[in-house]
Amino acid sequence: MRKKWLVVGIILFISLNTCLILFDNDDHIDRLVFVDKWDKVFEEDLYEYLEKDSVFDYIHEHNVYFDELSGDFEQFLVEEGSKVSVGDALYTYDVRDIAEAKASLEEKAQQLKDDIVTVEAALTKINMTTVENDTISVLLPDEEQTVEIPQDTSEANMLKTQFIIEQEKELERLQARLAAVKADTASLDREEETITVTSPYDGTVIKISESLEPPLMTIAEPQLQARGILTEQDRMIVNLDMPVQLRLTAQNVTLDGTISAMNDQPEQVELEDSNHYSFFVETEALEQLDVPILPGYHADATITLKESLSASTIEASWLFDQSIWKMTSAGTVESQKVERGIQMGSSVEIIDEVEPGTWVAIDVSDQFQEGAQFITPLKLGKIKWHDIGQTGNWKRHVVAGLLAR
Amino acid sequence: MTYRANVFKVLFRMDDHLFRIKQAEKMHNIWLSMLWLIALSIGVYAIMASKGMGTTILSQGAVWLSAHEYEAVKFWFVIGRTGFGFIFAVCVIFIPSLILHYITKIPYQKLLYMQLVVLLLLLLERIIWIPLTLYAGLDWYASPLSLGLIASYLTDVSWVIYFFGAISLIQFGVIWFQMTFIKRLSTVNAHWIWTSIILLHLCQWALAATLASVDDNMLGRWFR
């Protein structure tokens, strides 16, 4: 009989205590946290990439037109694929009205002469300006001494030289075209009836319209760029100057470049379908490669949307409800809410004041309570046994073990 | 007659065993049982320490240590704990029995035997602490079997919480066992027995509370 009461009494006692634990809202009871697995916040360079397909194509294409009214078309002097320079003959036609043709040539010649004058003037002016070697004098705070800081003029000089080179090239081009026009005029004077039209551009003839539909021909300048297509969602997140890496798998070549342009206009605005916007990638000089890059070559383009170098990083699995459980120097665990940044694979950037090297508990159970002291099991594997005798203060820890209850 | 020591069976067939113990002139196998109980004590404490129990004192500042350093610190702690396991067993076996021997005049060997059973019960208490700490995050003084939880609600004074935390259902069981044993084997006044056993336990609980109050700062001062 008494035994029954004893058992009942014991059960009641334990139940009371259990209730005290479960309904401890004011933290009367010290809690512990058993942490079996933990790791540290580390530093990593994180990137967010967008993969797109791209293809190499000409940057500048120029159309050449033939005015039916100026004469009867005779023949093409180049083929599709022919390389032409400024002044090379493209096609010939029979002049219908010599006077009109001559007048038109005169007009062209005059225009060219005007252009040449402009360029020559620009060249003269730039040659006259010298880049000033300005030295800036700075008065020091003690108001006694002055420091002379010479301004670096090398960049200005470089720009000047570059400008001169471009203008000289343009001058050459214009002079070549003027010479061609003069030759045409000369042949008209000799009462020849056939005019030869020469190329105003350097490049490759990429299209010839045999049926004489305008444009008559298209000449593309040799510079290439890579272009691809962005979807509506992509277009919103890609910006100019984002770095792009192009991998030509068939040619085993990798190039670095940047987004040089993007179309604001889709090829054709669709309501029912998705809209596509072109993007263009400018790369380093293609001529310097061992492998010639031809138009039409495909490349996998990796656009770097975002980058964060030496970011505080954690594994995504360490996050519990937008927070991580930090282990503090006071020996307790603390939950810290963190803001997520770039995610690359399983690594997540945290944008918060959490220093790399902070301990984070990985295996979080219901037991975890804010401010509870943590205990960890002994991990023999991590001990370097030959150093064990040198542990500072080992006696203190042995005594701690002897005196704990 | 000779009584053959069997520490487990005493708890299950108490009347029978107590009767035979009283009659026995010689106690057989005591030293063997003693040895393996001491070994058990060392083992239990070593396991508890390896699991990290009791290492809250080491957690402060642990984040500044390298992995090797932290584990080395815990290792030495485990060594200390193992030592404690030995000292604990020895104290439980020999000291109360000595004191009670002077008071009750029961042969020392028989009292030693009684303490072996007590030690077994105490080790059982510690084994229960293991899942309590590892799975429920409750330290020994917050065990639902003890008075520590109630004390935590009533006061903030650590020593008092530890003192009441040391008083558990198993402690009551030990007291009851010792009472029964001594009453059977001695003719001393029941009140005397009662008083001495209670006093003995009060001292043990106070000692436990004091040990538990040693914290990191104190150790720091001693080892400066």
Residues A186 and A274 grouped into a single domain: no
End-to-end CA distance of chain B: 58
- All residues of chain A having their beta carbon less than 8 Å from the beta carbon of residue B86 are none
- Mark yes or no for CB contact A401/B54 under 8 Å: yes
What's the average pLDDT block by block, 10 residues per block, for chain A (405 residues)?
A: 86 90 79 90 90 90 82 86 86 80 83 88 81 66 67 74 82 82 78 78 87 86 88 89 90 88 83 85 79 87 89 88 88 89 87 84 84 89 79 81 82
Window B:30-89, CB contacts with A under 8 Å: 49-64, 67-84, 87
Q: Which residue has the higher pLDDT, B125 or A345?
A: B125
In a domain, A96, yes or no: yes
Task: Say how far apart CA A313 and CA A13 lie, in whole Å.
Answer: 48
Residue with tokens 């203060």: A393
3-state secondary structure at position A258: strand
Preferred mutation among A32, A368, A386 to probe B, highest tally of B CBs within 10 A: A32
Residues A200 and A241 grouped into a single domain: no
In a domain, A251, yes or no: yes
Residues facing A246 on adjacent strands = A255, A301
Q: Strand A71-76's sheet: what is its strand order?
A: A71-76, A89-95, A194-198
- Put simply, whether B12 touches A (Cβ < 8 Å) is no
In a domain, A18, yes or no: no
Q: For residue A134, which of A152, A158, A154, A156 has the smallest C-alpha distance?
A: A152
Preferred mutation among A29, A333, A405 to probe B, highest tally of B CBs within 10 A: A405
Q: Which residue has the higher pLDDT, A383 or B36?
A: B36
Positive/negative CA dihedral, A178, A184, A185, A186: positive
Please state the separation of Cα A30 from the chain's center in Å: 53
Here the tokens at position B55 are 């290492």
Amino acid letter at B108? Y
Positive/negative CA dihedral, A187, A192, A193, A198: negative
**Which residues fall within 8 angstroms of residue B119, CB to CB, at 6 or more apart?**
B37, B41, B89, B92, B93
- All residues of chain A having their beta carbon less than 8 Å from the beta carbon of residue B49 are 378, 401
Residue with tokens 């004489």: A212
Residues facing A89 on adjacent strands = A198
The residue range of the domain holding A275 is 49-58+222-307
Residues A208 and A284 grouped into a single domain: no
Q: For residue A312, which of A34, A29, A44, A38 has the smallest C-alpha distance?
A: A44
By C-alpha distance, the chain B residue nearest A20 is: B149
Q: Residue A261's domain is classified under what CATH number?
A: 2.40.30.170
Positive/negative CA dihedral, A296, A299, A305, A310: negative
Residues A207 and A260 grouped into a single domain: no
**Which of A213, A231, A266 represents a domain boundary (last residue)?**
A213
- Mark yes or no for CB contact B79/A401 under 8 Å: yes
* Contact between residue B54 and residue A373 where contact means Cβ atoms under 8 Å apart: no
In a domain, A177, yes or no: yes
Please state the separation of Cα A394 from the chain's center in Å: 55
Residues A293 and A170 grouped into a single domain: no
Split into its structural domains, chain A has a count of 2
For A309, other C-beta atoms within 10 Å of its C-beta total 9
Task: Say how far apart CA A168 and CA A162 lie, in whole Å.
Answer: 10
Task: Say how far apart CA A200 and CA A89 lie, in whole Å.
Answer: 10
Amino acid letter at B224? R
Please state the separation of Cα B17 from the chain's center in Å: 23
**Which residues fall within 8 angstroms of residue B87, CB to CB, at 6 or more apart?**
A402
Positive/negative CA dihedral, A65, A67, A68, A73: negative
pLDDT interval class at B58 (50, 70, 90): confident
Residues A237 and A268 grouped into a single domain: yes
The Cα of A399 is separated from the nearest Cα of chain B by a number of Å equal to: 6
By C-alpha distance, the chain A residue nearest B56 is: A375
* Contact between residue A36 and residue A376 where contact means Cβ atoms under 8 Å apart: yes
By C-alpha distance, the chain B residue nearest A29 is: B152
**Which of A289, A307, A325 represents a domain boundary (last residue)?**
A307
* Contact between residue A370 and residue B46 where contact means Cβ atoms under 8 Å apart: no
* Contact between residue B212 and residue A403 where contact means Cβ atoms under 8 Å apart: no
In a domain, A34, yes or no: no
- All residues of chain B having their beta carbon less than 8 Å from the beta carbon of residue A393 are 223
Positive/negative CA dihedral, B133, B138, B141, B147: negative
Residues A187 and A74 grouped into a single domain: yes
Residues A72 and A196 grouped into a single domain: yes
Cα dist from B171 to A102, B104, B123, B140, B193, whole Å: 124, 21, 11, 13, 16
Using CB atoms within 10 Å of the CB of residue A170, give its burial: 0 to 12 exposed, 13 to 18 middle, 19+ buried.
middle
- All residues of chain B having their beta carbon less than 8 Å from the beta carbon of residue A34 are 51-52, 133-135, 137
- All residues of chain A having their beta carbon less than 8 Å from the beta carbon of residue B52 are 34, 375-378
Residues A127 and A72 grouped into a single domain: yes
3-state secondary structure at position A199: coil
Task: Say how far apart CA A229 and CA B8 lie, in whole Å.
Answer: 81
In a domain, A112, yes or no: yes
- Mark yes or no for CB contact A378/B58 under 8 Å: no
For B203, other C-beta atoms within 10 Å of its C-beta total 12
The Cα of B216 is separated from the nearest Cα of chain A by a number of Å equal to: 8
Alpha helices in A217-256 (DSSP H): 232-237
Residues A206 and A70 grouped into a single domain: yes
Residues A177 and A117 grouped into a single domain: yes
Residues facing A303 on adjacent strands = A50, A244
Here the tokens at position B175 are 């007291």
In a domain, A72, yes or no: yes
Please state the separation of Cα A35 from the chain's center in Å: 42
- Mark yes or no for CB contact A359/B63 under 8 Å: yes
Q: For residue B85, which of B131, B44, B128, B36 has the smallest C-alpha distance?
A: B44
Task: Say how far apart CA A157 and CA A170 lie, in whole Å.
Answer: 20
By C-alpha distance, the chain A residue nearest B78 is: A401
Please state the separation of Cα B185 from the chain's center in Å: 23
**Which residues fall within 8 angstroms of residue A316, CB to CB, at 6 or more apart?**
A343, A346, A347, A348
Here the tokens at position B83 are 């030592």
Please give the angle made by the CA atoms of A193, A196 and A197, to the nearest 5 degrees: 135
Preferred mutation among B64, B76, B86, B129 to probe A, highest tally of A CBs within 10 A: B76
In a domain, A239, yes or no: yes
**Which of A155, A189, A213 represents a domain boundary (last residue)?**
A213
- All residues of chain A having their beta carbon less than 8 Å from the beta carbon of residue B44 are none
For A25, other C-beta atoms within 10 Å of its C-beta total 6
* Contact between residue A230 and residue A52 where contact means Cβ atoms under 8 Å apart: yes
Here the tokens at position A289 are 């490669």
* Contact between residue A205 and residue A267 where contact means Cβ atoms under 8 Å apart: no
Residues A229 and A201 grouped into a single domain: no
By C-alpha distance, the chain B residue nearest A25 is: B153
Here the tokens at position B94 are 């020999």
Here the tokens at position A223 are 């510079």
**Which residues fall within 8 angstroms of residue A359, CB to CB, at 6 or more apart?**
A38, A39, A40, A326, A327, B62, B63
Helix-, strand-, coil-residue percentages of chain A, each rounded to 5: 30, 35, 35
Q: Residue A78's domain is classified under what CATH number?
A: 1.10.287.370
Please give the angle made by the CA atoms of A41, A42 and A48, to the nearest 5 degrees: 110
**Which residues fall within 8 angstroms of residue A31, CB to CB, at 6 or more apart?**
A367, A369, A372, A373, B137, B138, B142
Assign residue A313 a region (left: φ > 0; alpha: ψ between -120 and 50; beta: otherwise).
beta
Average pLDDT over residues B131-157: 90
By C-alpha distance, the chain B residue nearest A357 is: B63
Q: Which residue has the higher pLDDT, B2 or A381?
A: A381
Q: For residue B57, which of B214, B164, B208, B210 has the smallest C-alpha distance?
A: B214
Report the pLDDT value the prediction gives residue A147, as an integer from 0 to 100: 67
Please report, rounded to a whole number, the percentage of residues in chain B having pLDDT higher than 90.
Answer: 43
